[in-house]
Amino acid sequence: MTQSQKIPTYILSGFLGSGKTTVLLKMLSDFKKRGLKPGIVLNELGQVNVEGHMFKGEKMLEMLDGCICCTIQDDLREELQFFLQEENAVDVLLIEGTGVANPKEILEALTDPRLLDGFETQSIISLADASKFLEYQSIFSSSREIREMLNEQMTSATLILLNKMDLVNEKMKEKIYKKISKLLKADVEIIETVYGEVELEELLKKRMSTIAVSLGDGMEETGHSHHNHEHHHHEHPFKAFKIEDFPAVERIRFEKWLKKLPGSVLRGKGMVSLASPSGLYQFQFASKELEIERMEDQTCRTCLILIGYNMPIEEIRTSFQQEVLQTYKV
């Protein structure tokens, strides 16, 4: 690819555990089948990039321990420069935000005047976890911060993937659509998915209007909501909490413990060592479901990352110690 061609860029957004990485991996394998070379930018909350090993051999940049919306925007701009260098050229770029990032902030970085000639944002694909949708939208079982974040992610999307449809029934589905129709102002396409399964063509459709550069204050985007130029310096309400280097655990105990964590814990992931069958496993905990898979690389350190909103961290630490590790001190 020559520098004069813009790199088609896709933003994947969606709340914690909604299925962004699942879709990203599918897109990567589809691109490869077509002989296209993809680049990825991952933004992980919680210091350790648990998913990193899945992308071996890819041109990938990781931005750890930050949130695009607060501190990472400048970094993202710098990292994007990487793909503009001849030797790092890619045919297509995928940017996955943290589960608590606002996609508009990523767009903001992509539309920096210095990058505008390099990247052409095609679509903001937002994933929504259908199984959690009603709970997260409820004023009784959720918080304002969670609702606002979800609503931002939905309303700034140019395509919505309503994922985890295998976990909802017809009645829930009806309620979800009712809620979504109230939420969305624009006519945005919604595709129902299970494990993010969707035709690549749908994902690749150009769903955003071109960004027109005006002579005035730099840039203006046509046909889509305007950027928020206010740079807020708040403390991010969503936190990641990490425990590292703990000994082997028993799967049953660990799963039981995860499932009864307070509702303020929205997501869990990491690497654990299991007592039996013994070995190092990667796990994902989302929608109260645990997925666990033996890792190829058996040399990693164990780590447990929990992400949530107002989590009782000390309580969680103690219960992990008592109920999972028993005598081990963390």
CB of 15 to ligand GTP, least distance (A): 7
Residue with tokens 């991996």: 25
Q: Which residues of 296-308 are buried (b: 16+ CB within 10 A; e: fewer)?
A: eeeebebbbbbbb
CA 181 to chain centre: 23
Residue 161: CB minimum distance to ligand GTP, A: 9
Q: Is the CB of 120 or the CB of 135 nearer to ligand GTP? A: 135
Do 306 and 241 meet the contact criterion of CB atoms below 8 Å apart?
A: yes
- 44 or 221, CB closer to ligand GTP? 44
Neighbours of 68 (CB within 10 A): 26
User: Would you tell me which residues interact with ligand GTP (CB under 6 A)?
Assistant: 14, 16-22, 99, 127, 163-164, 166-167, 194-196, 267, 284, 286, 291
The amino acid present at 198, given as its one-letter code, is V
Length of the chain: 330
Q: Least distance (Å) from ligand GTP to the CB of residue 17? A: 4
Measured from the CB atom, the residue of 8 and 17 that comes closer to ligand GTP is 17
Q: What is the DSSP letter of 183?
A: H
Which CB sits closer to ligand GTP, 115 or 286?
Answer: 286
Nearer Cβ to ligand GTP, position 89 or 290?
290
The answer to whether residues 42 and 96 touch, using CB atoms and an 8 Å cutoff, is yes
Give me the least distance between CB of 322 and ligand GTP, in Å please: 26
Q: How far is the CB of 69 from ligand GTP (least distance, A)?
A: 14
